[in-house]
Amino acid sequence: MIKVAMLSFWHVHANDYAKQVEGHPDTQIVAVWDELPERGQAEAAKRGVSFYSDLAELLANKEIDAVVVDTPTNLHRDVMIAAAKAGKHIFTEKVIAPTLHEVNEILNAVNEAGVTLTVSLPRLNPTYTLAIQEIIQKELLGQITLVRTRLSHNGGISTNENPNGWLPEHFYNAKQCGGGALIDLGCHPMYLTRLLLGLPEAVSASYGYVTGREVEDNAVATLQYANGALGIVEAGFVNAFSPFVIEVHGTDGSVLYSDHDGRVLLRTKKLADASTQWVAYENGPEAKPSAFDQWVAHIQNGTKAVENIELAVDLTKLMEASNRSVATKQQVRLDSLNQ
């Protein structure tokens, strides 16, 4: 049994991860720490486990094997380095950290300690992502020229029930979050674009502030590739009915996915039945286990989440470049980021 401590319930997904720990046959929650003691005490009491007001004291407990980190993003570096040095395996909400320099500091500590780190990048694992990857690998689209991905919701929109929207107010705290809609929701379309098109040379981004908060609630980032291909990443907190969308376009065909109908649609010159009309791409690969289940398996098998970490590192590069692009009002090359 892997004994897990929950480190903060700041993130909106913290309770979801706690449920995954509790629902897995090989993991159990044994302790809670939170940067807000009152919140942490309530969550610990709810689960009948110990609350620690002192993170160092919790990490010194040798009976704790692993931690789930859901702190404010700006605390990730210090919390994860401390956890790694204490020999705890780490599962964390994206992003690893707001800057590449902080990510490299965390990875150095993880590698020196020999612990397993896995980042929650959940949209890598569904059937639709794997089917689109398979289509690309079969070269059914020819040379890829454009990937467009979009994820948006209405969390910032005022309603009678939630005058400030349903997102917690701290999700608009620039210091804690490292940004707004792009670093929160836009993470998912960003790492999917990176997965499907590779790492770009440069990024330019534009942010909108529809609700007037200190972080963006409407965002677009454009990824520039050496071969002329483009990636377009869109995210927002101010859209009532915007479906999650992936589009991949190439010289010989296109593939579309939208969760409004849950179908992967293909049109390509390379298949007779798909050359004149859109066809549903069926019988694709089965979904992969969740990121949490993968983390547990890596701990048990003594393996590392190599691809997961590679994509998570690149995700931070792309987010840092996007934020810098908005701040400087110019395109930012990834090779200009501080290592």
State pLDDT tens for residues 40-71.
999 999 999 999 999 999 999 999 999 999 99
Among the listed residues 156, 48, 90, the one whose alpha carbon sits nearest the alpha carbon of residue 305: 90
Q: How far apart are CA 121 and CA 123, in angstroms?
A: 6
* Per-residue confidence (pLDDT) for residue 188, from 0 to 100: 98
DSSP 217-234: SEEEEEEE-TTS-EEEEE
Among the listed residues 65, 76, 86, the one whose alpha carbon sits nearest the alpha carbon of residue 106: 76
Indicate the SS3 state at residue 192: helix
Among the listed residues 12, 6, 9, the one whose alpha carbon sits nearest the alpha carbon of residue 184: 12
* Per-residue confidence (pLDDT) for residue 70, from 0 to 100: 98
* Per-residue confidence (pLDDT) for residue 69, from 0 to 100: 98
The alpha helices in 144-257, defined as continuous H runs, are 174-177, 181-184, 187-197
Strands (E), 101-242: 117-120, 144-152, 202-208, 218-224, 230-236
* Per-residue confidence (pLDDT) for residue 299, from 0 to 100: 98
* Per-residue confidence (pLDDT) for residue 218, from 0 to 100: 98
State the number of CA atoms in the 13 A half-sphere of 98 facing the CB: 18
Give me 201's structure tokens. Answer: 């040379």
State the number of CA atoms in the 13 A half-sphere of 172 facing the CB: 20
Among the listed residues 321, 10, 15, 324, the one whose alpha carbon sits nearest the alpha carbon of residue 171: 10
pLDDT in tens, 191-228: 999 999 999 999 999 999 999 999 999 999 999 999 99
Among the listed residues 79, 130, 81, the one whose alpha carbon sits nearest the alpha carbon of residue 307: 130
Please give the span between the terminal C-alpha atoms of the chain, in angstroms, as a whole number. Answer: 37
Name residues of the chain where pLDDT drops below 70. none
